[in-house]
Amino acid sequence: MPHDHSFPLGYYNTKKLIKDLSLLVEKIDACKNGYMLYWKDDIDLDYCKFCGKSRYKPTRERNPNRTKTPYAVLRYLPITPRLQKLYALQATAEQMTWHANHQTEKGSMCHPSDAEAWRHFDRTHPDFPAEPGNVRLGLCTDGFAPHGQYGRTYSCWPVILTPYNLRPEMCMSSEYMFLTMVIPGPSNLKRLIDVYLEPLIEELQNLWHVGVLTRDSARDETFAMRVALMWTVNDLPAYGMASRWSSAGVMGCPVCIEDTHAFYLQNDRMACYFDCHIQFLPPDHPYSRNKKAFTKNQIERKVARPRLTGEQIRE
């Protein structure tokens, strides 16, 4: 082997050599209790602004100059370079505009672009679908126990983004599900998930309002790629954490909200939604007049409240 083509001396030198080939990872220190991130204007703080806990673990007195170790670190993987890589390869760049060329069959839905939510978004923001290369994302997150059922109690939260421009079989493929961060544990996030999502939200807002210049190898041109977060995919507990609305108790229904007939059982104080589902049936449904199978000697005449639109929720 030539003299200048030798192998690196060790693992550290090997990682240093291939560092530029890897994806960008931002390490952001976090509060021990999850109340804040030490970034942007707060990057130089040593104590949490809300709980007063120290940012770093205590060091030994005999070595005060040792590098400080934070209690918690959020590793954030920006989504922008990975979306740009989809357009760098011609095979995937062609598939990123599949949704615009896809012909919808009446009465069937094989892709989110066939749904009314997709078409409503196009009508609300007509400038976005004008560029077929703009990306539509879905966000998914849920708790994960890396040590399994019988290991050490620890819960972390991966946050995954999926581009829905692609064909249905590609949307469901793991190689197109982009991990953006793993929110550290060890305990349940409760309602602090929005603290850890701040870097992702800022990047998505920039991609929505400004966009980023991207080279499309299929069309052989450069365009301003914008990104829209279309929806989130969660189970009900994770939905409650992400939306900051309780998904437990008598007001756990995200549709009824406070206008609910749920009640607590007298003995064990568990929330009960008995018969609340009848109000979602058509008014002339025979179940609404059934006095025996549901609440005894009572006819349900209440109609469920209409679902709130995104604009109403924002207001």
Distance CA 195, CA 207 (A): 20
Range of the structural domain that residue 47 is part of: 1-60+67-74
For residue 54, is it within any domain? yes
Write out pLDDT tens, residues 214-232: 999 999 999 999 999 999 9
Same domain, 169 and 238: yes
Residue 149 reports pLDDT greater than 70: no
Same domain, 85 and 223: yes
Distance CA 275, CA 255 (A): 15
DSSP string over 212-279? EEEEETTTTEEEEE-EEEEEEE--HHHHHHHHTS--SSTT--TTTTTS---EE-TTT--EE-TTGGGG
Same domain, 190 and 236: yes
Same domain, 172 and 273: no
Same domain, 88 and 203: yes
Write out pLDDT tens, residues 279-306: 788 878 888 778 777 777 777 777 777 7
Q: Which residue, of 243, 266, 282, is where some domain finishes?
A: 243
For residue 132, is it within any domain? yes
Looking at the 3D structure of the chain, how many domains does it have?
A: 3
Same domain, 174 and 39: no
Same domain, 213 and 148: yes
Same domain, 221 and 97: yes
Residue 78 reports pLDDT greater than 70: yes
Same domain, 168 and 261: no
Q: Which residue, of 243, 272, 289, is where some domain finishes?
A: 243
For residue 260, is it within any domain? yes
Instruction: Give 295's DSSP letter.
Output: S
Same domain, 156 and 220: yes
Same domain, 185 and 40: no
Cβ atoms of 55 and 101 closer than 8 Å: no
For residue 94, is it within any domain? yes
Same domain, 5 and 138: no
Write out pLDDT tens, residues 11-68: 888 888 777 777 788 999 999 999 999 999 999 999 999 999 999 988 776 666 678 8
For residue 106, is it within any domain? no
Tell me how far CA of residue 129 lies from CA of 22, 99, 210, 225, 310, in angstroms.
32, 10, 15, 11, 19
Q: Which residue, of 183, 218, 243, is where some domain finishes?
A: 243
Cβ atoms of 96 and 135 closer than 8 Å: yes
Residue 180 reports pLDDT greater than 70: yes
For residue 259, is it within any domain? yes
